[in-house]
Amino acid sequence: MEYQKILTSIQNEISSIDNTGKVASYIPELAKVDAAKLGMHLHCINSGHYHFGDNTEKFSIQSISKVFALTKAMLLLGDDLFERVDVEPSGDPFNSLVQLEYENGIPRNPFINAGALVVCDILVSKLENPKNDLLDFIHKLVNSKNIGINRNVFESEKKHSHRNMSLLNLMKAFGNIKNNIEIVLDLYIHLCSIEMSCEELSKAFMIYANGGKLLYNQEQIVPSRKVKRINAIMQTCGFYDEAGEFSFRVGLPGKSGVGGGIVAVHPGQYAVTVWSPPLNPKGNSELGMYSLEQLTTLTGLSIF
d(CA 45, CA 91): 33
How confident is the model at residue 91, as a pLDDT? 73
Rg (CA), the chain: 18
Q: For the whole model, what pTM was predicted?
A: 0.96
Cβ atoms < 10 Å from Cβ of 114: 31
Residues of the chain with pLDDT below 70 are 93
How confident is the model at residue 16, as a pLDDT? 85
- Residue 275 is inside which H or E element, if any? strand 270-275
How confident is the model at residue 99, as a pLDDT? 83
d(CA 138, CA 193): 14
For the stretch 253-287, pLDDT in tens is 999 999 999 999 999 999 999 999 999 999 999 99
- Residue 25 is inside which H or E element, if any? none
Torsion, CA 176, CA 178, CA 183, CA 185, rounded to 10: 0
d(CA 159, CA 168): 16
- For the domain spanning 3-299, the CATH number is 3.40.710.10
How confident is the model at residue 240, as a pLDDT? 82
**Amino acid type, 163:** R
For the stretch 111-165, pLDDT in tens is 999 999 999 999 999 999 999 999 999 999 999 999 999 999 999 999 999 999 9
In contact, 230 and 211? CB cutoff 8 Å: no
| Alpha carbon distances (Å) from 192 to 2, 11, 53 | 34, 28, 23
* Domains of the chain, residue spans: 3-299
In contact, 259 and 33? CB cutoff 8 Å: yes
- Residue 258 is inside which H or E element, if any? none
Q: Which residues are within 8 A (CB) of 238 and not within 5 positions of it... i.e. 6 or more apart? A: 111, 246, 253, 254, 255, 256
